[in-house]
Chain A
Amino acid sequence: MSLTRSTEETLKQFILKEFLPGEDPNELEETTPLVSTGILDSLATLKLVTFLEDEFGISVAPHEADEEHLNTITSIANLVHSKRGR
């Protein structure tokens, strides 16, 4: 995995591979809603949180694993950045 790749790009690749196999990568934008469309269901959310914790070395609190924080790639990246900046 390239070190220079942006958080957004890393998230996008993970989401495409895990939750949207076969999907055209151009269809997944940083503002595509993920939770309200069911792309991230509860199981997928658990998987994503584990990935965030392992990949970025952060810890996500249960109350943060919700639609407000995880609904788009942008909002997930914001969550990651806010944790890492701490």
Chain B
Amino acid sequence: MGDAPAALHGYLARSAERRPDHVAVVEPGLASITYRELDRLSDRLRDRLVALGVGPGQRVGLWIPKTIDSVAAILGVLKAGAAYVPVDPTAPALRNAYILRDCAVSALLVEVRFESALRQELGPYSAEPAWIVLPESGGGRGLAAALEQETPAPPTPTADPGPDALAYVLYTSGSTGRPKGVMLTHRAATAFVEWSAETFDVRVDDRFSSHAPFHFDLSIFDLYVPQYAGASVVLLGEERGREPAGLAALIANERISIWYSAPSILTMLAQHGRLGSHEYERLRMVLFAGEVFPVAHLRLLATQLPHPRYFNLYGPTETNVCTHHEVPLPIPDERVEPFPIGRVCSNLRGVVVDSTDAPVKQGEEGELCVAGPNLMTGYWNLPEQTLRAFLERDNERYYRTGDVVVEEPDGTLRFLGRRDRMVKKRGYRVELGEIEACLYRHPEILEAAVVALPDPAAGVRIEAHLATRSGQKLSLIATKRFCSEHLPVYMIPDAVKLHEALPKTSTDKVDYQKLREPS
């Protein structure tokens, strides 16, 4: 594509100039917007925000369901030079108010149905933000209507806040129970977008899915890689995104060519999506990230959808994608271990270190640390946590992923588990993910999640949470016997709890925090 814009919103301007009438964003069955229209609508919001005093160095909160309105809102905030802070539209007002107050937003874009609850929870606030209330959202009409309620603001130039300015702050759940804001710059975002566009050979006629919500880092790919290429993105809203049979039809009818989501939704699609009832000739890539894809489920998916290429992407919000691996097809029936996370992205550098921060030898396990332009600048307002998140090495800042990996002889990295998911039981190191992988071999087990809880007598107690295929009860003895065929005795779960389905977070990952709560 050549001369890459320094600002994340530069891709939109370029595509609006080159392909003004091409569809930029689709709300399936409801509405779509061209690049020219999206550029204009976000310009109008930019002008309004600038008139309200918003500019570089400030943050703007967004509480709008995933629609053309929220896409235009995000772009308007960037064009004003500010950083956007999207909150989970389905989260309680208390949590969203915490986030918006924590990062001291100067302005807020809120759909009217969330307004009163948010005002109540925000309470008295030292610097009252400017409110832009959308009477509805969908098709861009809500944002246009909100802007039309005031006399038009004078046109202002699009800001170029520089590559080190924040582009967005994404809040992830913190270990302390309070969400923490991951701060990412234009440089970090554009480095990731351009790596993605090149690696996945993105084309103008591609149609991307947007499954992840905008407060989740997968959305950075969904939003900006299509803009980079002048391609189209199809928004899958909160409800639609969870309904597997409808999703299969959408992928076919909307001619999605690049799909990107967490593995859990792909598992649902493989199991309940009735994939066989449609054709997917446009689908050429399936990308997944966010958690380990159990091989049995991935195989079931790839058997039904054998044509696209499959990529395992890995990376925390703090770095976005930092390793990738193409899954070779077909997947042999006997394979049970998950696929590697692959190689460190070409624009980044990785090092695997031991507990003293010294690099390990190849084949030894250690924590993966990553350096390069993708990295966050830190956690909003949390200087100590920020300091702990990085490793200084060779005058370079490495992000400590907290993930334990081992480098295979062929140079690919294998994910072994979260450093904090490795517990000691009776002196033995136990990787909870390994127990999960074992449980997934059981033909009756559909979902498995293992947690370690403090135990006054044994030090640590290992609990397996399971959902079975038939919903039938699984005997504890039978489960333990099954585990004893695959695991050393100290890794066998102490207790088994059955669920109809495992609890999930708003980003479709297994909600471990909930599983650790006393029932």
Which residues of A line the B interface, CB within 8 A?
A: 20, 22-24, 27-28, 32-33, 35-39, 41-43
Q: Is the CB of A22 within 8 A of B476?
A: yes
B496 to chain A, nearest CB (A): 9
Nearest-CB residue, chain A, relative to B482: A37
Q: CB-CB < 8 A to B483: which residues of A?
A: 37-38
Contact with A along B486-517 (1 / 0, CB 8 A): 00011011100000000000000000000000
Complex partner residue of A36 from B426, B476, B484, CB under 8 angstroms: B484
With A33-B484, A43-B457 as contacts: A38 and B477 at CB distance below 8 Å: no
B400 to chain A, nearest CB (A): 33
Q: Is the CB of B492 within 8 A of A38?
A: yes
Question: Main secondary structure on chain A at its contact with chain B?
Answer: loop
Q: Is the CB of B477 within 8 A of A27?
A: yes
A-B pairs, top 6 by smallest CB distance, nearest first, are A38-B492, A37-B480, A37-B484, A27-B475, A27-B477, A38-B489
Roughly how many angstroms separate A39 CA and B475 CA in the complex, as a whole number?
A: 12
Roughly how many angstroms separate A41 CA and B473 CA in the complex, as a whole number?
A: 24
A33 to chain B, nearest CB (A): 7
Complex partner residue of A37 from B426, B458, B477, CB under 8 angstroms: B477
Q: CB-CB < 8 A to B477: which residues of A?
A: 20, 23, 27-28, 32, 37, 39
CB contacts under 8 Å to A, within B421-475, are 426, 457-458, 473, 475
Roughly how many angstroms separate A24 CA and B476 CA in the complex, as a whole number?
A: 9
Is B478 located at the chain interface by the 8 A CB criterion? yes
Q: CB-CB < 8 A to A36: which residues of B?
A: 484, 489
**How big is the B interface, by class?**
10 to 19
Q: CB-CB < 8 A to A24: which residues of B?
A: 473, 475
Is B284 located at the chain interface by the 8 A CB criterion? no
Q: Is the CB of B458 within 8 A of A41?
A: yes
Roughly how many angstroms separate A35 CA and B481 CA in the complex, as a whole number?
A: 10
B484 to chain A, nearest CB (A): 4
Q: CB-CB < 8 A to B494: which residues of A?
A: 38, 41
Q: Is the CB of B475 within 8 A of A38?
A: no
Roughly how many angstroms separate A81 CA and B267 CA in the complex, as a whole number?
A: 53
Roughly how many angstroms separate A38 CA and B426 CA in the complex, as a whole number?
A: 13
Roughly how many angstroms separate A16 CA and B490 CA in the complex, as a whole number?
A: 20
Roughly how many angstroms separate A81 CA and B490 CA in the complex, as a whole number?
A: 30
Q: CB-CB < 8 A to A42: which residues of B?
A: 426
Q: CB-CB < 8 A to B478: which residues of A?
A: 27
Roughly how many angstroms separate A20 CA and B494 CA in the complex, as a whole number?
A: 9
Roughly how many angstroms separate A38 CA and B477 CA in the complex, as a whole number?
A: 9
With A23-B475, A42-B426 as contacts: A37 and B457 at CB distance below 8 Å: no
B309 to chain A, nearest CB (A): 41
Q: Is the CB of B481 within 8 A of A33?
A: yes
Q: CB-CB < 8 A to A39: which residues of B?
A: 477, 480
Which of B457, B473, B476, B483 has the largest number of chain A CB atoms within 10 A?
Answer: B476
Roughly how many angstroms separate A38 CA and B493 CA in the complex, as a whole number?
A: 8
Roughly how many angstroms separate A83 CA and B475 CA in the complex, as a whole number?
A: 33
Contact with A along B391-431 (1 / 0, CB 8 A): 00000000000000000000000000000000000100000
A38 to chain B, nearest CB (A): 3
